[in-house]
Amino acid sequence: MSQAAIPFVDLKAQYSHLKADIDARIARVLEHGAFIMGPEVAELEKALGAFCGAKHVISCSSGTDALQMVLMAENIGPGDAVFMPSFTFTATAEVVLLLGAEPVFVDVDGRDFNIDLQSLEAAIARVQKEGRLKPRGVIAVDLFGLPADYSALKKTCDQHGMLLLADAAQSFGGARDNTRVGLLAPATATSFFPAKPLGCYGDGGAIFVQDDETAHVLRSIRAHGKGDDKYDIVRVGVNGRLDTIQAAVLLAKLPSFAAEIEAREKLSQHYDAMLKGLVVTPIRPKGTQSAWAQYSILTPKRDELAAKLKAAGVPTAVYYPRPMHLQTAYAQFGGGPGSLPVSEKLSGEILALPMHPFMPEETAERIGAAIKAAL
């Protein structure tokens, strides 16, 4: 008898666990009918701020819009350079191009997968020497849920007068040096895509800032650049509002979010123990807590292992099979093959395993056994 399929992310199990609260929250929205910017949106923003300690939370329609809105608030555009890791998802780079600025790709650390400070500083020096672009910002991506070293990054950004923006699409719920994601950078953008650690049932996102004026501008940008009235347009904006039903779903999920992060951490430690000596498991820098959006291993036998696991009923995923500087849409901004060797090497060896807080221990054991058999 064949074994049951293993879900990569089990949203059905989460819904079953939270069904009563989720259904009640959604029903309330259906009853009051305020489907855009209803009362649940403000309630969610307050709850998210309380969770991470941020003074201002501006919810929005997606993590991508969150990134773009922050750049818009800083008036980043033509002639500006924004630095970011190449080993990331396209959303990090596309928002820069949409505003007419230019992405400058840098390499990542081979163990924590986050932006490499030496590569960043070399890229800043190169752009300054060329003189064609003005260094304006750094987007640091907390890959797979592990917060980047924002203390070091802030020193570099302050030295050059640049914005530091945390792309925390995968890391909300994580922490570094006893500070939760949302407070680590002057501006933080996150995503509530369904498969994220805290996900809604569609697209959604949020921005976390401490500065009052920045928050005011972001709220204006979110609503088409409105001023005191929706027909008083004071700046160029976007339609970046979060649907009320998505806010309701997130409000139902937020009370159990911390416990789910703990469950993800427990599963990651179980993986560590089972896979020791077989593959390279994720690093755990001192003083950090990953949100474990993904549990990604490294092996030069990645494709062979993935095929064998698929045959055994174990799903896997590759984040990411090609770094940004080698993508067709961004090739003109990169240095070509060999220019960012760590990112290129990781793209050939990275493999994500099933990760969610509702995985039974026997399922984790089955995954570990399948990997041992394959290798």
Torsions phi, psi for 348 (to 5 deg): -95, -5
Q: Kindly list the domain boundaries of the chain, sorted by start residue.
A: 12-255, 257-374
User: Which residues are CB-contacts of 209 (< 8 A; sequence separation ≥ 6)?
Assistant: 54, 55, 56, 58, 186, 187, 188, 215, 218
What pTM was computed for the model?
A: 0.97
pLDDT tens profile 221-275: 999 999 999 899 999 999 999 999 999 999 999 999 999 999 999 999 999 999 9
| Owner of token pair 């427990």 | 266
Domains 12-255 and 257-374 fall in the same CATH topology: no
Helix (H, G, I), strand (E, B) or coil at 289: strand
Summarize pLDDT for 143-194 with one digit per residue, the tens: 999 999 999 999 999 999 999 999 999 999 999 999 999 999 999 999 999 9
Range 12-255 classified under CATH 3.40.640.10:
yes
Q: What is the pLDDT of residue 2?
A: 55
Q: Which CATH number fits domain 257-374: 3.40.50.2300, 3.40.50.720, 3.90.1150.10, 3.40.1350.10?
A: 3.90.1150.10
pLDDT given for residue 281 in this prediction: 98
Segments in the chain below pLDDT 70: 1-2
Name the strand (E) or helix (H) holding 64.
Answer: helix 63-73
